[in-house]
């Protein structure tokens, strides 16, 4: 499905009927109690609330409500009519945010390559426990499509499998190809994914002994245009400085990590609205990587240390320039899943105001990915927190309750 068809799928439902138009059904007054698979509706939709959440519902950065109800897996702010004899809804209390977004993680992958389905399931469950209910999978060699049929697992937006230059990425992860084949592979992964394609924009060049761009300009221009024709957005792994300008001028939609942003490239990103997912919890591993590669690749090691040392300044400068910034953890390579709360804390440490750091993991990220949040009729994917995250974002690291598709799962 293309990015656009995903948006219309969620906005209007598969039958093309707008959710708010059918929320009140002719069968109001009785509870069907039946579970329906997927976001479909039928005329006998019951009005019995399964959940009533009280406290402070942070429906948007400026939109705070006192309570919400969950009816048939969907959010409503109108008190539902309770037929006599119907069960009382379960009551939860706290600060409510939309299900958190990990916009850069990998399900079906570990440090060595693809993993089996039970390991993928554990990864998805770990994300769920942490309240990460919408994942943008930034490249996986495993087929995790089966997760879409599991109501109890987070929703995933896939970018297919990574596409890298030959011997220029972690072994067993990517399609490793040469520039002449880039467009064909990008088209193929665009069709396999959920509206995104992931390429590796730079990596260590062992002959040069340093990070360097992987693709000539003509190859990325042609490939990005092809992805857009297929209705997919393109993102690239970039640690270095020298890969960024060509990718942005070729029309890329997002850059992962983006540690190499400089005074020259920041205005370019801002002007074109190219988003970044800094993955600061992953950038924290740079000094360790540098120490490991020091003996063989001293220039690369020094470069990685320098990128690490300026990481907060880089992210803050990007945000100040108006570049959209979103949370991602890079879980699933060597990092554990479930760190999205920590990543919000890292954005705050970098100097991004709390409200924008929260948005990077919630309202803003969901809008960017074309997915619903906490509006009337939206699927009830949310987290309940013990304290106000606007006061201290560390509360995000351990949600007291997690609700997915209207069910309490944690």
Residue closer to Zn ion, measured from CB, 70 or 244: 244
d(CA 210, CA 18): 53
Q: DSSP class of residue 146? A: G
Nearer to Zn ion, 56 or 308 (CB): 308
Q: For Zn ion, which is the closer residue by CB, 330 or 381?
A: 330
Beta carbon nearer to Zn ion, 138 or 182: 138
Q: What residue has token string 């039928």?
A: 42
- For 293-311, letters b (16+ CB in 10 Å) and e give eeeebeebbebbbebbeeb
| Chain residue whose CB lies nearest Zn ion | 330
Closest contact distance (angstroms) between CB of 309 and Zn ion is 21
**Closest CB to Zn ion among 41 and 326?**
326
CA torsion, ordered 235, 239, 244, 250, to nearest 10 deg: -20
387-400 burial string, b = 16+ CB within 10 Å, else e? eebeeebebbbebb
Return left, alpha or beta for 35; rule: phi > 0 is left, psi -120 to 50 is alpha, else beta: beta
Q: Which of 194, 241, 330, 346 binds Zn ion (CB under 5 A)?
A: 330
| Residue 105: CB minimum distance to Zn ion, A | 7
> Minimum distance between the CB of residue 329 and Zn ion, rounded to whole angstroms?
9
Q: Locate 82 and state its tokens.
A: 């309770």
* Contact stretch for Zn ion (CB under 5 A) within 24-32, 77-85, 124-132, 322-330: 322-330
Q: Please, where are the H alpha helices in 100-154?
A: 117-129
Q: How far is the CB of 110 from Zn ion (least distance, A)?
A: 12
Alpha carbon 266 to its chain's center: 22
CB of 149 to Zn ion, least distance (A): 25
DSSP secondary-structure letter at 59?
E
Least distance (Å) between residue 330 CB and Zn ion:
4
Q: Identify which range of 35-43, 118-126, 284-292, 330-338 contacts Zn ion by CB under 5 A.
A: 330-338
Pick the closer one to Zn ion by CB: 213 or 380.
Answer: 213
Smaller CB separation from Zn ion, 175 or 401:
175
| Partner residues linked to 331 by β-bridges | 105, 335
CA distance 393 to 183: 41
* Residues in contact with 54: Cβ distance below 8 Å, sequence separation at least 6, in sequence order: 66, 67, 91, 92, 93
**Closest CB 196 distance from Zn ion, rounded Å:** 12
Cβ nearer to Zn ion, comparing 230 with 330: 330
> With respect to Zn ion, which residue has the nearer C-beta, 49 or 103?
103
Residue closer to Zn ion (CB basis): 23 or 237: 237
Region of 132-140, 198-206, 344-352, 354-362 interacting with Zn ion (CB under 5 A)? 132-140
Annotate each residue in 136-165 with x if it binds Zn ion (CB under 5 A) or - if it does not, as one string: --x---------------------------
Annotate each residue in 38-77 with x if it binds Zn ion (CB under 5 A) or - if it does not, as one string. ----------------------------------------
Least Cβ distance, residue 10 to Zn ion (angstroms) = 25
CB of 154 within 8 A of CB of 135?
A: yes
Give the nearest distance from C-beta 343 to Zn ion in angstroms: 13
Helical (H) or strand (E) element with 299: helix 298-309
> Does 202 contact Zn ion by CB under 5 A?
no
- DSSP codes, 1-33: --HHHHHHHHHHTTTT--HHHHSS-TTTTS---
Cα-atom radius of gyration of the chain, to the nearest Å?
Answer: 22
Contact stretch for Zn ion (CB under 5 A) within 133-141, 175-183, 298-306, 341-349: 133-141
Binding site for Zn ion (CB under 5 A): 138, 330
């Amino acid at each position: 499905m293309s990015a656009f068809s995903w948006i219309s799928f969620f906005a209007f439902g598969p039958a093309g009927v707008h959710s708010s138009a059918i929320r009140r059904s002719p069968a109001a007054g009785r509870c069907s109690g039946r579970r329906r698979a997927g976001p479909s509706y039928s005329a006998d939709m019951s009005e019995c609330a399964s959940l009533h959440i009280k406290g402070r519902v942070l429906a948007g950065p400026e939109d705070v409500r006192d309570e919400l109800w969950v009816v048939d897996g969907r959010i409503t702010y109108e008190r539902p009519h309770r037929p006599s004899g119907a069960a009382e809804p379960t009551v939860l209390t706290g600060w409510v945010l939309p299900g958190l977004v990990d916009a850069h993680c990998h399900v079906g992958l570990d440090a060595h390559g693809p993993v089996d389905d039970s390991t993928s399931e554990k990864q998805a469950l770990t994300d769920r426990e942490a309240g990460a209910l919408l994942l943008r999978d930034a490249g996986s060699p495993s087929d995790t499509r089966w997760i879409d049929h599991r109501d109890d697992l987070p929703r995933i937006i896939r970018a297919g499998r990574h596409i890298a230059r030959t011997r220029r990425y972690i072994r067993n992860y990517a399609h490793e190809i040469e520039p002449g084949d880039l467009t064909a592979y990008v088209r193929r992964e665009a069709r396999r994914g959920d509206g995104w394609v992931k390429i590796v924009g730079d990596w260590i060049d062992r002959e040069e002994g340093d990070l360097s761009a992987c693709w000539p300009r003509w190859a990325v221009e042609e490939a990005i245009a092809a992805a857009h024709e297929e209705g997919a957005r393109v993102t690239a792994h970039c640690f270095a400085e020298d890969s960024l300008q060509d990718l942005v001028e070729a029309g890329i939609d997002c850059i992962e990590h983006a540690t190499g942003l400089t005074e020259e490239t920041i205005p370019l990103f801002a002007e074109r609205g190219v988003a970044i997912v800094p993955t600061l919890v992953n950038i924290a591993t740079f000094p360790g990587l540098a120490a490991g590669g020091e003996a063989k690749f001293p220039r690369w090691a020094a470069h990685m240390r320098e990128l690490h040392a300026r990481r907060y300044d880089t992210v803050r400068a990007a945000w100040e320039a108006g570049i959209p910034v979103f949370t991602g953890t890079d879980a699933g390579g060597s990092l554990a899943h479930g760190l999205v709360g920590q990543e919000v804390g890292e954005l705050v440490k970098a100097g991004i105001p709390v409200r924008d750091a929260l948005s990077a993991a919630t309202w803003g990220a969901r809008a960017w990915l074309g997915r619903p949040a906490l509006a009337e009729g939206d699927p009830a994917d949310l987290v309940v927190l013990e304290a106000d995250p606007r006061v201290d974002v560390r509360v995000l690291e351990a949600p007291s309750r997690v609700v997915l598709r209207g069910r309490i799962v944690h």
